[in-house]
């Protein structure tokens, strides 16, 4: 399904951000060859993890990405080997655990890393405060992520379930913000429709029907 989704996105102003399953060369290469513009790598906990991810998305001499020209990611041969850096993706690393928080500065300072991205659910669970986004430990963590990103001229990102949560992160300096997802949007719309219908049927209009 990934290829067809990336092809559809190519007809829009949007770019495809692909979250890979693991920080492995095989997983990352597969999505890059299919034309992913941006790659998100989960569970980065150390500078070494970040360096590994950065290596997998960059061509030699700075990385170990294979130089394959006849694939969608390289324009099926229309991009010369001398211009391949133009198709190196944005690298987004996920900050989800206490070890990652302990190594924030080193991770943010890794060449090739562009965004430090918080997954609120994973991070609150790993901090022992599952789903408690107002807990002091979580709030301190997201502040630390923003500060580490700013210190190293990187972006801070987060995935939110509700647009009402955005101002808090914007105030901290987060600039790479995702809001919900397809299932979340469908659920909100379905609940709103059901609520409206129940309200209409429990308070029927007195106006005559035509």
Q: Residues 103-113: pLDDT tens digits?
A: 999 999 999 99
From CA 156, how far away is CA 169, in angstroms rounded? 9
Full-prediction pTM beyond 0.85? yes
Cβ distance 101 to 95 under 8 Å? yes
Which contiguous run of DSSP H or E holds residue 176? strand 176-179
Residue 70: its pLDDT value, please?
86
Q: Residues 29-54: pLDDT tens digits?
A: 999 999 999 999 999 999 999 999 99
Q: Class assignment of domain 2-181?
A: alpha beta
From CA 160, how far away is CA 167, in angstroms rounded? 11
The candidate with the shortest Cα–Cα distance to 91, out of 141, 50, 151, is: 50
For residue 13 the two structure tokens come to: 């102003």
The candidate with the shortest Cα–Cα distance to 33, out of 20, 42, 22, is: 20
For residue 76 the two structure tokens come to: 């099926």
Q: Residues 123-140: pLDDT tens digits?
A: 999 999 999 999 999 999
Residue 67: its pLDDT value, please?
86
List per-residue pLDDT tens for the chain, 210 residues long. 999 999 999 999 998 999 999 999 999 999 999 999 999 999 999 999 999 999 999 988 899 998 888 889 888 888 877 777 777 899 999 999 999 999 999 999 999 999 999 999 999 999 999 999 999 999 999 999 999 999 999 999 999 988 999 999 999 999 999 998 889 899 999 999 999 999 999 876 655 555
Residue 115: its pLDDT value, please?
98
Q: Which residues pair with 201 in a beta bridge?
A: none
DSSP string for 16-65: -EEE-SSS-HHHHHHHHHTT-SEEEE----SHHHHHHHHHHHS-TTT---
Cβ distance 46 to 113 under 8 Å? no
Separation of first and last alpha carbons in the chain: 47
Residue 32: its pLDDT value, please?
93
Residue 49: its pLDDT value, please?
98
């Amino acid at each position: 399904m990934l290829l067809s989704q990336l092809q559809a996105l190519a007809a829009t102003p949007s770019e495809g951000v692909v979250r890979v399953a693991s920080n492995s060369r095989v997983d990352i290469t597969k999505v890059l060859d299919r034309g992913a513009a941006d790659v998100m790598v989960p569970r980065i906990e150390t500078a070494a993890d970040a360096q590994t991810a950065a290596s997998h998305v960059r061509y030699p001499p700075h990385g170990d990405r294979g130089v394959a020209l006849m694939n969608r990611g390289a324009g099926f041969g229309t991009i010369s080997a001398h211009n391949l850096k133009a198709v190196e993706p944005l690298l987004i690393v996920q900050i989800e655990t206490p070890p990652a928080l302990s190594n924030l500065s080193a991770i943010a300072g890794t060449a090739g890393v562009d965004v430090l991205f918080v997954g609120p659910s994973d991070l609150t669970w790993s901090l022992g405060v599952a789903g408690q986004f107002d807990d002091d430990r979580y709030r301190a963590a997201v502040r630390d992520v923003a500060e580490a990103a700013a210190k190293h001229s990187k972006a801070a990102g987060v995935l939110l379930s509700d647009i009402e949560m955005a101002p808090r992160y914007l105030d901290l300096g987060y600039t790479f913000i995702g809001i919900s997802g397809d299932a979340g949007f469908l659920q909100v719309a379905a609940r709103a429709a059901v609520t409206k219908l129940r309200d209409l049927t429990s308070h029927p209009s007195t106006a005559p029907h035509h």
